[in-house]
Structure 1
Amino acid sequence: MNLTPVRDNERIQSLDIMRGIAIFGILLVNMKSFSGPDTPIRALSYEYFKEPYHVWTNVLLEFFVQGNFITMFSFLFGFGIILMAERAAEKGRNFAPVFLRRQFVLLIFGILHVLLFWYGDILIMYAAVGLLMLVFYRLPRNVLLITGMVLITAYSLFMSALTYSYWTSGTALAYKSAQNGLHLQEIQQSIEIYSEGSFVEIMQERMREWTDLNRYFLFFIAGLLPMFLFGAYAAKKRTFTNKGLWRLWLLTLILGPGSKILPVIFFPYKGEDWRYDTAMSWGYEFGGAMMSIFYICSIVLLYRGGKFKRLFNSFQYTGRMAFTNYLTQSIIATTIFYSYGFGLYGEYGPLTGVVIAAAIFTLQVLFSKWWLERFYMGPLEWIWRTLTYGKKQRLKREEASNG
């Protein structure tokens, strides 16, 4: 008996909805890097975009979006691993070989994504963390939950302590002017290359930025693994009562927004002392994880209550094609901003980026709905699953009557 991908009637709608929402949140964050040199801009000790509407757009993105949706997607990835393992067990098949092929294909897509389109790829990281889950996925669900909580708390405290030490040692202030100068040079270099350079020059710059971003690859893995574990725990528990969800909702309301409000409170101290950056570190790491669970609980409770059903259905379409939509976002955005497209890199601030992201995602909702009325899965999902299972998957819906 062969392993096959999940069928339409086996899908869990709420998971597709969450994937769709997560894809939009990820686009909102990524748009700042698509449209300009966000990494060195964020590293400056002052605000690069000084207009109040840009400043507050950044503040709101930091609170509501930054770090909240990459963690949600990690949760969903962990949930999916357990579903895949359960289906393999039901069919009497060995889970590991198929899963390893799946992760290898994901890794190849991630490498191509970095080489051809964008340095901020997350697929390589998911491929790596997914492999680690082979060590954890058989553990009892409560062990998964406790391990995840210990890891995310320890990791967040460690990162916050490093930031605090960097500022209180005097190092940050001593090199403040020099670091700002280096970051400004990097900003100008990126704008020049991405808006005017050749494809080869842009690819070389992408590789440099990817290398810089992933110098602490193992740290990033440690930050994402807990959410994979939480997703695996949820998949093994599977049934959550409304009462239990409301309790978790209240707890994560305190821990998530409660952590993420700290950098907003200390925003006036950015670049002046330890408060803002330390609060930002804690808010991004621990607050982002808790905020994503808060969002997940909110989505499930609203979905069960029947509210916003039409809106949720729209996200469901993009969620079912999350892989295609994620990579397509890079293709569309780089075409808008890079020299081989419209060359608008570095021209716009955060608020304009939010508007562009909303427009792109709206088009993706419409396209995903149109596509799924005609096909069983997205085009890149079809390639991924065909390579994973070693068998050409059914794509066109009319093929069902011919099978």
Structure 2
Amino acid sequence: MTSGSIGSRTAPTASDAPAKPISSSERLDAIDVLRGLALFGVLAMNIVTIFRVSFFAPSLLNAEPAGPLDRAVAAVLTVAVQSKAVALFSLLFGVGLAIQFERLAGNPRRMILLVRRLVVLLGIGLVHLYLIWSGDILVHYALAGFVVLPFLGGARWLMAGAALLLLGLDVTMPVLPPIVPLPDAAGMAALAADATRAYGTGGFFDVLAFRIREVTVIFPLEVMALPATVALFLVGAFTWRSGVLRRASANRRSLFVVATFGILLGGGLSLAAAGQELFDWPSLGRAHPPVEQLGAVVLAVGYAAAVIAAVNLSGGRRMLGWAAPLGRMAFSNYLAQSVICGWIFYGYGLSQFGRFGVAATLAIGIFVYVAQVVFSAWWLRRYRFGPVEWLWRSCMYGAPQSMRATVNLAVTRATIAV
């Protein structure tokens, strides 16, 4: 097993030394690769939906008449990416919480550090939410993280039971009476029209004023999504605690079985849920929301298992290793995507809100993503962290972290090439 294998690296044990971030040599390649790939799915959906048109458009992927190419791209995104990328990111966030909890074992300040980590995430998220983009996920993740923290030191059966209970609630919630008030169709149409005016033609302060109003309307949807997010965090934490990720090389066959099952079943459920809209299939009726929710989770698990298993093959590492630097800087890249897309679509930038079709918008997203792949590799040859990752860690540990990379660049390049 080569040094690039996830199975060859384990989390460091606790010591009396001051707590500090994990070193580059201790990182798990498969997790970074998976996070980097998931970031593309998140960008693809964000840019073709909430950046391109209003959050309240009746059908975000088809908010205006579309040609055959736009319809085909929208269909692929709906079945293969929509909700799955965020679900995958949520699983990885849960894994990250569990790794942090384990690394700080024996440290009397462990919970203080983890709470501080989430408080800093919440603060950055609030800045992002109000000043940059109303589709922010960081505030949501911070709040879900606070719920998950008490479970991290508990028994695995408790984590698994809570995750199953919350997933069941998430799957059935769409067919239950709303627990929080939602705008009616006329209200959403009015908000969509106001969004088009504010985002499409307004200056920065016009956009800010509308965003503050918009966030209050979006908040109930965030509340409804919280059980699913907490459940996925718990699934990710449970997966780490189970040891599957640390022994991924030895468990490749099982991972490929999970991948096959997850992709086939999750893909089938997602296709069935999208069938009426895309192919004029018979409606699933009240079963549609649960089928759609379940399909997203199962397909995300299938994607995760497939990537982790692939990265533990030499050919898979060579084919997917380019995504690892992007995953190591996912926080910085996520925020950078919001700044870039806001400049492209909003009135204080290029004012392209509502003007592009799905295919053209996705092409812009691919260009941004490729640029970030190149930039992330360049940056991490020189620095230990992405800029926002550095800020996050420095605030968490209460001291500025060393930023400049100290490893030999020739060794780094040789390692990446393995």
TM-score of the aligned structures, taking structure 2 as reference length: 0.85
1:312-359 deviations in whole A, cap 9, x for unaligned?
Answer: 111101100000000000000001111111111111121111101100
Residue 3 of structure 2 corresponds to none
Aligned partners of 1:125, 1:257: CA distance in 2, in Å?
26
Kindly indicate whether the alpha-carbon contact (under 8 Å) linking 1:67 and 1:284 is maintained by their aligned counterparts in 2: no
Amino acid at match of 1:380: V
Q: Is the aligned partner of 1:51 residue 2:67?
A: yes
Residue 171 of structure 1 corresponds to none
SS of the aligned residue for 1:266 comes to: helix
Q: 1:161 to 1:336 in 2, by over 3 A?
A: same
Q: 1:278 to 1:134 in 2, by over 3 A?
A: same
Residue 39 of structure 1 corresponds to 56
Q: Is the aligned partner of 1:301 residue 2:309?
A: yes
1:245-289 deviations in whole A, cap 9, x for unaligned?
Answer: 23322432343112201123222687x99637852x234422111
Residue 247 of structure 1 corresponds to 257
Residue 86 of structure 1 corresponds to 102
SS of the aligned residue for 2:223 comes to: helix
Which structure shows the higher helix fraction?
1
Amino acid at match of 2:40: F
Aligned partners of 1:184, 1:228: CA distance in 2, in Å?
34
Aligned partners of 1:150, 1:209: CA distance in 2, in Å?
31
Aligned partners of 2:212, 2:75: CA distance in 1, in Å?
29
SS of the aligned residue for 2:123 comes to: helix
Residue 260 of structure 1 corresponds to 270
Kindly indicate whether the alpha-carbon contact (under 8 Å) linking 2:53 and 2:60 is maintained by their aligned counterparts in 1: no
Q: 1:387 to 1:139 in 2, by over 3 A?
A: same
Kindly indicate whether the alpha-carbon contact (under 8 Å) linking 2:343 and 2:349 is maintained by their aligned counterparts in 1: yes
- The CA deviation at 1:371 is 0.3
Amino acid at match of 2:163: G
Residue 166 of structure 2 corresponds to 151
Q: 1:155 to 1:365 in 2, by over 3 A?
A: same
Kindly indicate whether the alpha-carbon contact (under 8 Å) linking 1:49 and 1:55 is maintained by their aligned counterparts in 2: no
Question: Which structure 1 segments of 5+ residues have no match?
Answer: 164-174
Question: Which structure 2 segments of 5+ residues have no match?
Answer: 1-16, 409-418
Q: Is the aligned partner of 1:100 residue 2:115?
A: yes
SS of the aligned residue for 2:215 comes to: helix
Residue 358 of structure 1 corresponds to 366
Kindly indicate whether the alpha-carbon contact (under 8 Å) linking 1:114 and 1:121 is maintained by their aligned counterparts in 2: yes
Q: Is the aligned partner of 1:275 residue 2:276?
A: no
Amino acid at match of 1:348: F
Aligned partners of 1:269, 1:276: CA distance in 2, in Å?
16
- Residue of structure 2 aligned with 1:237, choices 226, 239, 242: 242
| Identical-pair percentage | 26
Amino acid at match of 1:28: A
TM-score of the aligned structures, taking structure 1 as reference length: 0.88
- The CA deviation at 1:43 is 7.3
- The CA deviation at 1:369 is 0.5
Residue 335 of structure 1 corresponds to 343
Aligned partners of 1:321, 1:190: CA distance in 2, in Å?
31
Residue 227 of structure 1 corresponds to 232
- Residue of structure 2 aligned with 1:121, choices 120, 136, 152: 136
Amino acid at match of 1:304: N
Residue 7 of structure 2 corresponds to none
Aligned partners of 2:104, 2:285: CA distance in 1, in Å?
47
Aligned partners of 1:8, 1:399: CA distance in 2, in Å?
9
1:1-16 paired onto structure 2 within 5 Å: 1-16=17-32
Q: 1:103 to 1:224 in 2, by over 3 A?
A: same
Kindly indicate whether the alpha-carbon contact (under 8 Å) linking 1:3 and 1:93 is maintained by their aligned counterparts in 2: no
- Residue of structure 2 aligned with 1:199, choices 196, 204, 207: 204
Kindly indicate whether the alpha-carbon contact (under 8 Å) linking 1:88 and 1:95 is maintained by their aligned counterparts in 2: yes
- The CA deviation at 1:82 is 1.2
Residue 412 of structure 2 corresponds to none
Q: 1:75 to 1:88 in 2, by over 3 A?
A: same
Amino acid at match of 1:7: S
Amino acid at match of 1:344: Q
